[in-house]
């Protein structure tokens, strides 16, 4: 067996065996297969596709290339959720405390933000003292103690995926559903859990741009999870506009806390309740979705979910005063209000452009080594279907980079389209895949 024959086989649209896929993954990870050879195979895969068995074997090989995080010492049912990325997506900080109130173990290993999408760890670090790099023993203990723990991923989770993704990024081989699905699922399946819900984003601020491709990706990932023995479900949700009204690290934590106080935006709350209800059904806590939704609403209204978030913050050495008084969050020095130039309805609000503007202001990073400004970001005062008066405030921006204000303003202006009211109301949840 050699890499030349494997490349030739896929070039000729033939099916690769499990042994051939393992040979490729193991030898590329170890450095025996060179980048130019791996690039050729990735391009052949992009052009000629993988069938489901090939995609499953690729996922499994990438899982087996690194550590498996054994969480069997966590006594309760372990639940996890994953979003495929977006703008203003702070759902983890709301869903985690909610589910922990139902005696489920929300044990989540998360990452940092890159490009226009925010990372959960960066957001949490806007709370003074909060430790997001727990040892696995501490991660397990915290989850057993209070039903929730969120920490950074270990370095040796699916190393084959890290190496392959870096190569895909520079060889125009990112947009392949089997490669996307195996990349996402290899990381999720390297961590022990009982139930997994996938939030597959579609729209301007997401990687998937149309519903058919989003459904295909969701179906592939669900089938991989189920075949792996992990009960998996996917929702397809709209990212044509940012999910939240607050975009940026400190700002998104502020909005998550507001949502747990029942003062957050409707879209964000509705999606968090929907995802949480689906997980409660998967875990057997309720038989009907409306029962789960009523119970979740109660956890917000009676303050239990907010108290659980505060308990989580304290358990990971964060300052609870930040939960009690939102003025403790320090926003960036310069504030600028973007004024609307005409009256009308917001017809469009391009999520990608808003994310790019937030990155310009300092809220995102180009590479993993870049620093970020936790206090930078954007507050969107108007979203799709909202009416805005001429001279009203469309958005407020915060930054320490005064020289970047006009660049960000140009992007935000381009993101907004003001005109007549849309004929159809903006729809947040677009599908479900079991």
Q: Any idea which residues carry the catalytic annotation? A: 82, 161, 168, 183, 187
Q: Where are the alpha helices (DSSP H) in 261-344?
A: 266-282, 289-301, 304-315, 321-324
Output helix, strand, coil percentages for the chain, rounded to the nearest 5: 45, 20, 35
Rg, the chain, Cα only: 22
Residues 78-99 as b or e (16 or more Cβ within 10 Å = b): bbbbbbbbbbbbbbbbbbbbbb
The CA-CA-CA angle for residues 257, 263, 266, to 5°, reads 105
Helix (H, G, I), strand (E, B) or coil at 109: strand
The residue among 242, 247, 262, 410 whose CA lies nearest residue 331 is: 247
CA 308, CA 355: separation in Å to the nearest integer? 30
CA 175, CA 20: separation in Å to the nearest integer? 23
CA 149, CA 146: separation in Å to the nearest integer? 8
- Whose structure tokens read 């607050």? 246
Task: Starting at the earlier edge strand, list the strands of the sheet with 429-433.
Answer: 148-152, 105-110, 78-83, 195-202, 231-238, 429-433
Tally Cβ neighbours within 10 Å of residue 313: 23
Strands (E), 133-179: 148-152
CA 422, CA 419: separation in Å to the nearest integer? 9
**Exposed, middle or buried by CB within 10 Å (0-12, 13-18, 19+), for 368?**
exposed
CA 250, CA 123: separation in Å to the nearest integer? 6
CA 271, CA 184: separation in Å to the nearest integer? 21
């Amino acid at each position: 067996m050699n890499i030349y024959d494997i490349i030739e086989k896929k070039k000729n649209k033939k099916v690769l065996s499990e042994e051939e896929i393992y040979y490729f993954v193991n030898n590329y990870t170890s450095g025996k297969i060179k980048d130019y050879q791996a690039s050729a195979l990735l391009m052949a895969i992009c052009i000629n596709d993988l069938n489901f068995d090939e995609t499953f074997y690729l996922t499994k090989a990438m899982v087996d290339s690194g550590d498996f995080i054994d969480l069997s010492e966590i006594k309760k049912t372990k639940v996890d959720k994953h979003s495929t990325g977006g703008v203003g997506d702070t759902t983890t900080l709301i869903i985690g405390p909610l589910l922990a109130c139902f005696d489920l173990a929300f044990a989540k290993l998360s990452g940092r933000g890159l490009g226009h999408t925010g990372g959960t760890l960066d957001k949490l670090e806007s709370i003074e003292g909060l430790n997001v790099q727990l040892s696995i023993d501490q991660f397990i203990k915290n989850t057993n103690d209070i039903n929730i723990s969120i920490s950074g991923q270990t370095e040796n989770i699916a190393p084959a995926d890290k190496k392959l993704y870096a190569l895909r990024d520079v060889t125009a081989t990112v947009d392949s559903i089997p490669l996307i699905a195996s990349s996402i699922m290899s990381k999720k399946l390297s961590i022990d859990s009982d139930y997994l819900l996938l939030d597959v984003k579609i729209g301007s601020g997401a990687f998937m741009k149309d519903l058919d491709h989003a459904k295909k990706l969701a179906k592939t990932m669900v089938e991989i999870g189920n075949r792996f023995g992990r009960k998996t479900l996917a929702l397809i949700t709209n990212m044509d506009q940012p999910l939240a009204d607050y975009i940026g690290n400190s700002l998104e934590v502020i909005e998550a806390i507001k949502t747990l106080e029942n003062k957050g935006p409707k879209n964000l709350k509705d999606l968090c309740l929907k995802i949480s209800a689906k997980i409660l059904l998967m875990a057997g806590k309720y038989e009907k979705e409306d029962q789960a939704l009523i119970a979740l609403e109660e956890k917000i209204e009676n303050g239990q979910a907010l108290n659980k978030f505060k308990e989580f913050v304290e358990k990971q050495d964060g300052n609870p005063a930040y939960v009690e008084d939102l003025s403790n969050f320090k926003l960036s020095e310069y504030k600028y209000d973007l004024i609307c130039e005409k009256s009308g309805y917001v017809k469009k609000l391009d999520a990608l452009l808003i994310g790019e503007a937030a990155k310009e202001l300092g809220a995102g990073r180009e590479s993993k080594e870049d620093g970020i400004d936790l206090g930078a970001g954007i507050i969107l005062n108007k979203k799709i279907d909202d009416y805005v008066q001429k001279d009203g405030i469309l958005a407020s921006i915060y930054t320490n980079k005064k020289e970047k204000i006009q660049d960000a303003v140009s992007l935000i202006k381009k993101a907004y389209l003001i005109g007549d009211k849309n004929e159809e109301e903006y729809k947040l949840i677009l599908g479900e895949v079991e």
